[in-house]
Chains A and B, each alone.
Chain A
Amino acid sequence: MNRWFIRPHRRHSISMTYVALAGLLISLMLLAACAPAPAAAPSKPSAQKEAKATPAPAAKAETFRIAVGIDPDTLDPALSTTTTVSNIIEYMVETLVVTDKDGNVQPKLATSWEVSDDGLEYTLHLRKGVTFHDGTPMNAEAVKWNLDRMLDPKVKMPMRSTFAAIKKVEAVDEYTIKIYLSQPFAPLISSLSLENAGIISPKSVNMEGNSYESVTRPVGTGPYIFEERVKGERIEITRNPNYWGEKPYYDKVVFRVVPEAATRESLLLAGQVDLIILPPISDLPALQKNSDVKVLLAPSDRTIFIAINTLHKPLDDVRVRQALNYAVDKQEIIKGVLFGAAEPLDAPMAPNLFGYCKLQPYEYNPDKAKALLAEAGVKDLQLNFIAPTGRYVQDFQAAQAISNYLNEIGIKAPVSTMDWPSYVAAIMTPPDKNTIDLHFLGWAPDYLDAAQQMMQFYSPESPPNGLETSFYKNPKVDELIEAAGKETNPDKRKDLYCQASRLIWEDAPWIFLWVQRFPIVYRANIAGVDYHPTEKFSAIYAHPAE
C-alpha cells in the first residue's frame, strides 16, 4: 500500500494539545487572580417574547421579571449563606417572625411569643390555618421538625452557630412551641427572622430532587410556589392561590441570573426585565435622569470601613488612629466616587440596627490629623493597605481616594488588591504573621441587631478565631458586649450597646467610612417596590403603576 508515515505531523498535533491544555490551566490561574468577583445574586426573568420595542413591556404581562447577579448555590433555606439567595427563597418560604425596616420584630408564622425571666425558655404561638404548598398543615410539629433539622449535624448548615444556644424544641400543642436555650441569647427572636430559619414542609424532603440533607425545590407557606429552575439561567415561581395573607398581583415571578452588571442594566433598559439590583455604579447618575426607570438607593445595614491593625506600631496609639479618621473627607468620596450611594457613619454600626445611638462624626480636618500625628511623634509613616475589587460598591476606587487623603497628611499607603478568597485569607492571618496595616472591609449583620455587628469589636473574635480583623481589644468593651448578649430587657440592652459604641468610637479601631446604599432599579411603570435594609429588594407586592 502507499503508506506515508508522517510522524512529525502527528507529534505536532499532540504537542499542540498539550499547549492548549497548558493554556487552559494557565487561564484558570489567571482567572482566579484577576476576574471580577460576581456581583450579588442575579435572577433572570424569562418572557423574552416581550422583548419588543414597547416602552413599558411589563405592565400588560402578568409576569414580574427580576435580574440578580449570582446563581444561587442552593434554594434550601437552612443551607443558604447569601442575601440574594435568601431574597429569592423568601418568596416561597416564610419564617416565624420578620424584622421591619427599623429592626423591629414583627409576627409572621408566629403571632406572639413570651420569654421566661431567666431568658432560657421561649414560647411561640403559631398562626392557625396555614398550609404548606403541598397541602400539609403548618403546625407545632412542622416547626419543631424544621428547628431540629437546623440543629441536626447530618444537615450541613453553614451558619448553624447562630442558633447554637438552642438546646431543645418542644411542640406543646398543635399551635404552640417551646424553645429551650442552654444559655441566654437575647437576639433569639430576631435571629428567627433569618431565612436560614425558614419553615418548609417536612413531607417535602421526600419529593423528587429533595432530600433531608438538601432541598432543591423549596416547599414553604409563602405567597409564591416553586415551579422550575434552570441552573445558571433562571428560577420561575407561580402565585400561591391558597396563600393565607395578602395575595400578590403578579401570577408569576422569574428571577434571571445575570452576573454582569452592565448586562443587567441593559436588560432593564431594553424592557426585558422589570427590576434589577446593583447596576454599574458609575451609571447611577444616568439612570436617575432616565424617565423610563426609577432608582431606589436603599439604606442598608452594611458598614464600610478600613480596619486598622491595632497591634502594629504606631497604629497601637489611639491618636494615630484618630488622625487617620480626621484625614479622610468621606462626604467628598461618597459624592465623587460612590455617586451618592452611601451615608457617612456616625456610630460603629448602621442606624437601622437595634442598639444604635448617634455619635459625633469625625469631621474632615487634615490640620487636626497632622497635629495628632505630631503629638504622637509619628513621621514618615508607611502603611501596607489592601482593598478588595468589586466586592463592595466602588471599593478599590474609594480605597485609592483614601490613600490620596492619607498622603496629604504625610502617610504613604499605596493600595493593592487581590481576589476575594485570597483577601479573606490575608486579613485572617494571625497577628504574628500579619503584615497588613489597613484593610478595606464591609460588614452587614444578617438580622438588624447590634449583636452581629459587635463581633467586629469583641477581642475573642480576633483571627484566627473570627473576623475581628483590627485585633482591637478593650476589656471594658468586651464586658459590655457580653452583658448585652445576655440582657433580655431591651432598654437595658440598648444602653449597653450605646456605652460600648461610645468607647469604640473614641478608640477608633477603624477608619469609620460609610453605610453603603443598595441600589435597586426598576421600570417606571411598576409600583409597590420597596427594600429591606439587609440588602434586599422587597417586590412581592409590586404591581403596575396607575
Chain B
Amino acid sequence: MTSFTHYIVQRLLAALITLIGISFIVFLLVRLLPGDPARVIAGLLASEDDVARIRTWMGLDRPLPVQYATFFGRMVRGDLGISARTKEPVLREIMTRLPATVKLATISMAIAGLLGVLGGVFAAYRRNSILDFLISVSTLFGISMPVYWLGLMLIVLFAVRLHWLPAAGSEHPTSYILPSFTLAAFSIALVARMTRSSMLEVLGDDYVRTARAKGLRESTVVLRHALRNALIPVVTVIGLQFGALLGGAVLTETVFGWPGMGQLLVDSIFARDYPMVQGIVLVFAVMLITVNLIVDILYAYIDPRIRYG
C-alpha cells in the first residue's frame, strides 16, 4: 500500500467513526428539544387519543436505547426510516432534495472562489489604491450583511423593481442567479480578504524578489510563484466555507423558496420530525467530511512539498 492510499484508508476510517458519533449526538439532540413530535404532527385540534396513536407509530413510546438501536441498525443498512411528517422514506425525500442544495452550494462556492481570489489578488497587487479600497469596503459589506436581508433586497431590486429575474423557484436557469449570489456573498468577501493578506505576505518574500530579479514576466511572478503559495490557506478556507454554505442554504432556501434540503430541514425541525432531522444532519456531515478530504488532497496538488504518511 502506498503511503497515499494508506492515508486515504485512515481518513475514511476516521470519517466512519465520526459519523457514528454524529449519529449518536444528533439522535440525542433532537430528543432534547422540548416539544412532543406527535402533538406537533397531529395539531392542536387532535384528541389525546390521536396523539397517543401517533406516538406509537413513531416508536416514541419505547425506551431511548431501544430507539437508538433501531435507528442505528437501520442506518447501517442504509435505511434512514420513515419521515413522521410526510410518511415517505427519509432517504428518498433527501435524495429528491439533495441535488437542488448541492447545485446551489457548488455554484456559490465556485462564485466565491473565483470572485474572492480575483478580488483578493487585485487588492493585494494594487495595495492601497482606490481599487484596493473599494474591494476592502465591499468585502466588509459582504461579511457583515445578514443573508436574509441581502436576499430580500436583491429580490426587491431585481424582481420587483427591474423585473429582470425570478424572485423564487428553481425551474428556470435565471432562477439560480439571486440565490447563489446571496449565498456566496459572505464567502466571496471572506475569500477575498484571506487572499489579499496571504498574497501580501507572499509578495514580500525573498523568492518573489528572486523571481522578479530573474526577469520573469510580472504575470508569471504573481500567478505562478506568488499566488500558488498564497492559495494554500485560501483553499482551506474555501473548503471550510462549504460547510458554511450548507448552513447558509437553510436561510437562502427559505427566502427564495428553493426546493433543497435546507428548507426541508427547517420544516422537519419545526415538525420535530426526528427521523428526517437525523437523516439530513447525517447527509450534511457526510458531505462536509468528503469536502474536507478533497481539500486535503488538493493541498498536495498545490504544494508538492506536502506528502502524507
Contacts and interface: CB of A to CB of B under 8 A. Distances in A.
Nearest to A22: B25
A266 B159 contact: yes
Contacts of B45: 159, 445-446, 452, 455, 467
A269 B156 CA distance: 9
Given A27-B247, A48-B175, A81-B42, A32 B48 contact: no
Contacts of B22: 21, 25
A74 B292 CA distance: 36
A379 interface: no
Contacts of B213: none
A161 B257 contact: no
B234 interface: no
Contacts, number: 258
A6 B44 CA distance: 59
B160 interface: yes
Interface string B236-272: 1000100100110010011111111001111101111
B123 to A, nearest CB: 25
A270 B160 contact: yes
Interface string B1-43: 0010001000100100010001001100100011111011111
Interface stretch (B131-139, B216-224, B301-309): B301-309
B236 A16 contact: yes
SS class of chain B's interface: helix, strand, loop or mixed?
A: helix
Interface in A403-432: 418-426, 428
Given A9-B299, A46-B171, A270-B167, A20 B306 contact: no
Given A24-B285, A267-B159, A14 B14 contact: yes
Contacts of B79: none
Contacts of B175: 48
Given A73-B86, A79-B87, A234-B169, A17 B36 contact: no
Given A21-B22, A31-B250, A81-B43, A13 B174 contact: no
Interface in A83-142: none
Interface residues of B, number: 91
Interface stretch (A36-44, A179-187, A350-358, A503-511): A36-44
Interface stretch (B49-57, B187-195, B200-208): B49-57
Nearest to A153: B53
A158 B172 contact: no
A76 B7 CA distance: 50
Interface string B271-309: 110000100010011001100100110010000011111
Interface string B68-110: 0000000000000000011110000100110010000000000
14 contacts: A13-B236, A17-B18, A17-B288, A20-B288, A20-B292, A28-B281, A52-B163, A71-B264, A73-B86, A156-B53, A214-B87, A233-B170, A260-B152, A422-B35
